[in-house]
């Protein structure tokens, strides 16, 4: 299928947007199971009977598996139909959810986390990116991916809040959590079946691409030698560090600020998916407006560092719950702005098109590395330093990460300005 083929007829245009909505729902819901702790941290501790460290290890298992899958997933997506990969990834994720709903022993839950990395990060994610790229022309890529991100957040928020309401009506926390897991499992399976029968088959690579004939090993070595690649990687790494720390606001609100489990779960869902709608989609528009994705990240990192810095000095107690919540939404929005634009810095930093894929793979593998170890590290912090002390360490870590990200974003911005002075004004960064 040629890129943009869905646009050829009026019916094709309608099908294109319907498919985009379907894929947005799929990507928004397939990650709900592996990231369940973001909204149901305390409930998982009680229902599964794990320690903070063990629960953190589950996320680290998922993160380590995902890092490996990012590296090899693209090759799989180029050889197998996206339609089959998208459908099977959702169905397999849902099937594993049934086992997870039985609250298995820790080693089994650990294995399920690895399996979810395989189904979501290797099977599903690369196929999704390939398929969405083929939905429209080159001029529509930013619009398509922006709407994918925003619609994903919107659908996830609506469904997530509805499931929180169901959880709140459960007789017990364990029973409510089991219901939540089963709902997500069934929805993923149903979406996988719908995806298989609704979306048309599509080729996921551009035939005759000159870049495709270049050795991937040579490209990877070239990427390693590029300062831009390292700067972009570190900004992604710093953003991920802040993003992971942000995820611990749910237990912080209940354990330190005196919020109820239901309130914290609702706030966690709004934080995780609601901010994605606002931050994820607005980041690209802001970057286009000021003609710089790196400068957008500079301002965002300042907000993040200041926000987490203020959190270090806020006392515990329900009287400060509103202040902590408002602060969290403020720098949480900035974190999602960064998530929406950090790959847009590829063009601004002057990364050649011929090594674009290698830089993206390198930056993804290392930039998303905190997913593989930070949950375990933070789990140990919370077990060793209970109460507010452990969370202060988390906030300090996020503030330091934002400071490092700020410095790298400034370097990218200066590098882009230097290139403009040398070769003339750049084209605006394209959002992907």
Under 8 Å CB-to-CB from 65, ≥6 apart: which residues? Answer: 113, 114, 116, 117, 118, 121
Q: What is the mean pLDDT of residues 20-28?
A: 90
List the structure tokens of 407: 């410095």
Enter the DSSP assignment of 432. Answer: -
Q: What is the mean pLDDT of the chain?
A: 82
pLDDT tens by residue, 69-117: 877 765 566 667 888 989 999 999 999 999 999 999 999 999 999 999 9
Residue 429 in domain: no
How high is the pLDDT of residue 430?
43
Asked if residue 293 and residue 221 are part of one domain, the reply reads yes
Sign of the Cα torsion 251, 256, 260, 263 reads: negative
How high is the pLDDT of residue 300?
95
CATH of the domain at 131: 1.20.1250.20
Asked if residue 148 and residue 253 are part of one domain, the reply reads no
Q: What is the mean pLDDT of residues 381-404?
A: 95
Alpha helical stretches, state H, 273-320: 275, 281-290, 293-311
* Cα gap 44→353, rounded to integer Å: 45
Write out the residue range of the structural domain in which residue 234 sits. Answer: 216-422
Q: Which of 200-209, 246-255, 261-270 has the lowest mean pLDDT?
A: 200-209
* For residue 122, pLDDT beyond 90: no
* Cα gap 74→130, rounded to integer Å: 9
Residue 431 in domain: no
Residue whose tokens read 């991100």: 149
Residue 329 in domain: yes
List the structure tokens of 246: 């942000």
Confidence tier at 204 by pLDDT (50, 70, 90): very low
Asked if residue 382 and residue 334 are part of one domain, the reply reads yes
Asked if residue 261 and residue 325 are part of one domain, the reply reads yes
Asked if residue 128 and residue 44 are part of one domain, the reply reads yes
Which run of H or of E encompasses 244?
Answer: helix 227-246
- Looking from the CA of 322 toward its CB, the CA atoms found within 13 Å total 1
Q: What is the mean pLDDT of residues 22-27?
A: 92
Asked if residue 404 and residue 290 are part of one domain, the reply reads yes
- Whole-model pTM: value is 0.71
Asked if residue 179 and residue 224 are part of one domain, the reply reads no
User: What's the total number of domains in the chain?
Assistant: 2
Residue 255 in domain: yes
| Distance separating the N- and C-terminal Cα atoms of the chain | 20
Residue whose tokens read 């926000």: 307
Among the candidates 171, 198, 225, a domain finishes at: 198
Residue 130 backbone zone (phi > 0: left; psi -120 to 50: alpha; other: beta): alpha
Among the candidates 157, 172, 198, a domain finishes at: 198
Asked if residue 226 and residue 180 are part of one domain, the reply reads no
How high is the pLDDT of residue 205?
43
How high is the pLDDT of residue 9?
47
* For residue 212, pLDDT beyond 50: no
pLDDT: which is higher, 381 or 168: 381
Contact between 304 and 402 (Cβ < 8 Å) = yes
Confidence tier at 12 by pLDDT (50, 70, 90): low
Asked if residue 231 and residue 111 are part of one domain, the reply reads no
Residue 205 in domain: no
Q: What is the CA radius of gyration of the chain?
A: 21
Whole-Å CA distances, 385 to 317, 377, 388, 394: 18, 12, 8, 11
pLDDT tens by residue, 323-344: 999 999 999 999 998 987 787 7
Residue 208 in domain: no
Residue whose tokens read 């099937």: 95
* For residue 346, pLDDT beyond 80: no
Residue 203 in domain: no
Asked if residue 320 and residue 243 are part of one domain, the reply reads yes
Asked if residue 108 and residue 79 are part of one domain, the reply reads yes
Q: What is the mean pLDDT of residues 35-58?
A: 86
Q: What is the mean pLDDT of residues 264-276?
A: 80
Among the candidates 167, 198, 229, a domain finishes at: 198
* Cα gap 284→143, rounded to integer Å: 10
Residue 211 in domain: no
| Maximum Cα–Cα distance across the chain | 67
* Cα gap 387→147, rounded to integer Å: 40
Q: What is the mean pLDDT of residues 3-9?
A: 49
Asked if residue 238 and residue 176 are part of one domain, the reply reads no
Q: Which of 133-137, 276-280, 336-340 has the lowest mean pLDDT?
A: 133-137
């Amino acid at each position: 299928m040629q890129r943009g083929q869905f646009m050829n007829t009026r019916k094709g245009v309608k099908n294109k947007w319907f498919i985009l909505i379907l894929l947005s729902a799929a990507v928004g819901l397939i990650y709900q199971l592996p990231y369940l702790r973001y909204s149901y941290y305390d409930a998982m501790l009680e229902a599964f009977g794990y320690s903070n460290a063990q629960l953190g290890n589950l996320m680290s298992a998922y993160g380590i598996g995902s890092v490996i899958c990012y590296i090899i997933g693209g090759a799989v997506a180029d050889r197998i139909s996206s339609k089959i990969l998208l459908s099977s990834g959702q169905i397999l994720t849902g099937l594993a959810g049934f086992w997870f709903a039985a609250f298995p022993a820790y080693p089994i839950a650990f294995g399920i986390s690895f399996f979810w990395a395989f189904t979501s990060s290797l099977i599903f994610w690369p196929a999704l990116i390939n398929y969405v790229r083929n939905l429209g022309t080159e001029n529509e890529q930013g619009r398509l991916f922006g709407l994918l991100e925003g619609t994903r957040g919107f659908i996830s928020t609506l469904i997530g809040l509805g499931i929180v309401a169901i959880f709140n009506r459960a007789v017990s926390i364990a029973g409510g959590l089991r219901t939540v897991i089963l709902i997500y499992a069934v929805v993923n399976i149903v979406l996988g079946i719908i995806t298989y029968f609704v979306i048309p088959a599509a080729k996921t690579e551009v035939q005759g691409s000159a870049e495709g004939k270049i050795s991937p090993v040579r490209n990877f070595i070239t990427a390693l030698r590029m300062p831009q690649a390292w700067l972009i990687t570190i900004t992604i790494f710093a953003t991920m560090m802040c993003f992971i720390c942000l995820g611990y606001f749910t237990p912080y609100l209940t354990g330190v600020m005196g919020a109820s489990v239901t309130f914290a779960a609702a706030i966690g869902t709004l934080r995780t998916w609601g901010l994605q709608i606002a931050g994820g989609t607005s980041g690209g528009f802001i970057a286009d407006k000021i003609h710089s994705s790196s400068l957008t990240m500079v301002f965002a990192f300042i907000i993040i560092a200041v926000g987490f810095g203020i959190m270090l000095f806020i006392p515990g107690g329900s009287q400060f719950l509103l202040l902590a919540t408002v602060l969290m939404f403020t720098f949480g929005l900035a974190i999602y702005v960064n998530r929406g634009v950090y790959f847009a810095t590829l063009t601004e930093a002057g990364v050649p098109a011929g090594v674009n894929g290698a830089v993206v793979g390198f930056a993804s593998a290392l930039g998303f590395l905190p997913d593989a170890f930070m949950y375990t590290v933070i789990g140990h912090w919370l077990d060793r330093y209970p109460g507010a002390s452990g969370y202060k360490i988390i906030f300090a870590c996020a503030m330091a990460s934002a400071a490092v990200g700020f410095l790298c974003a400034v370097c990218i911005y200066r590098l882009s300005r230097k290139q403009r002075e040398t070769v003339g004004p750049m084209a605006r960064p394209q959002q992907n």
